[in-house]
Amino acid sequence: MIKFVRVYKAFPSGSLALRDLSFHVAKGEFLFLTGHSGAGKSTVLRLIYAEHLPTQGEVRISGFNTAKLNRREVSQLRRRLGIVFQDFRLLEDRTAEDNVAFALEVTGAKRSVIAPKVMRVLAQVGLTAKAHQYSNELSGGEQQRVAIARALVNDPFVLLADEPTGNLDERATRGVFRLLRDINANGTAVLMATHDLDLVRHANYRTMELQDGALVFDSKVDQQAMKKGTA
């Protein structure tokens, strides 16, 4: 579903953000992407939503090579992805409801379709009561829930989360993480970049670690290797 084939990403500044990265994310999988700051986690996510293109190698999303997409097709791709950031990226002077509705409006959805869908995802993230509050009046955890609701409203096949708990206290972190697990349990793949190793250790999900842009650990591959080794 998401496939990196020998991907290199160099920036004009000369820094090599990713080197020879290959991996595959299956449908409905939960994947942690870990590594120090500057390891290349965000770059991986940006390559998935086609904000960047690989310098070398291929990034394939549902079979489409992102390098071959035109701008319009990139927009279409993003409607099938849910994206969440550490800094929420909400429109502050709009209500929670409007922020979520916004993601549907840009697809040209009808008003009659938008309202029930928005209410449904707001209920899913537990914010029905705060639908009419402006996003800058909400707590960090609530803002991230709004962002997640916005990411979910287009029924994405994968949720990309770049350090979604990076700005949150412990309580809010646990709440948001539980939400992501629920979303994954409902069948949506989740790809979460984080350097919160506590979170990673307590959940038994596939984990990939990047170091200076290179993949140094992939629990899935290592487990398979271990199985092979013991067999």
Ligand X SMILES: Nc1ncnc2c1ncn2[C@@H]1O[C@H](COP(=O)(O)OP(=O)(O)O)[C@@H](O)[C@H]1O
- Spatial separation of the C-alpha atoms in residues 89 and 87, rounded to whole Å: 6
13 binds, among another protein, ligand X, Mg ion, none (CB under 5 to 8 A by kind): ligand X
11 binds, among Mg ion, another protein, ligand X, none (CB under 5 to 8 A by kind): ligand X
- Comparison of 2 and 149: residue with beta carbon closer to another protein: 149
- Comparison of 163 and 209: residue with beta carbon closer to another protein: 163
Pattern 85-114, binding to another protein, x per CB under 8 A?
----xxx-x--------xx-xxxx------
- Spatial separation of the C-alpha atoms in residues 20 and 92, rounded to whole Å: 39
Footprint (CB under 8 A) of another protein, residues 111-170? 150, 154
Residue from 3, 79, 174, 181 in contact with another protein (CB under 8 A): 79
Footprint (CB under 6 A) of ligand X, residues 9-28? 11, 13, 15, 17
SS (H, E, C) 172-227: HHHHHHHHHHHHHHCCCEEEEECCCHHHHHHCCCEEEEEECCEEEEEHHHHHHHHH
224 binds, among ligand X, another protein, Mg ion, none (CB under 5 to 8 A by kind): none
**Residue 37, interface with ligand X (CB under 6 A)?**
yes
Amino acid at 65: N
Q: 198 phi and psi, to 5 degrees?
A: -55, -50
Q: Which residues of 50-73 are buried (b: 16+ CB within 10 A; e: fewer)?
A: bebbbeebebbbeeeebeebeeee
Summarize as ranges the residues that interact with another protein (CB under 8 A): 49, 71-72, 75-79, 83, 89-91, 93, 102-103, 105-108, 150, 154
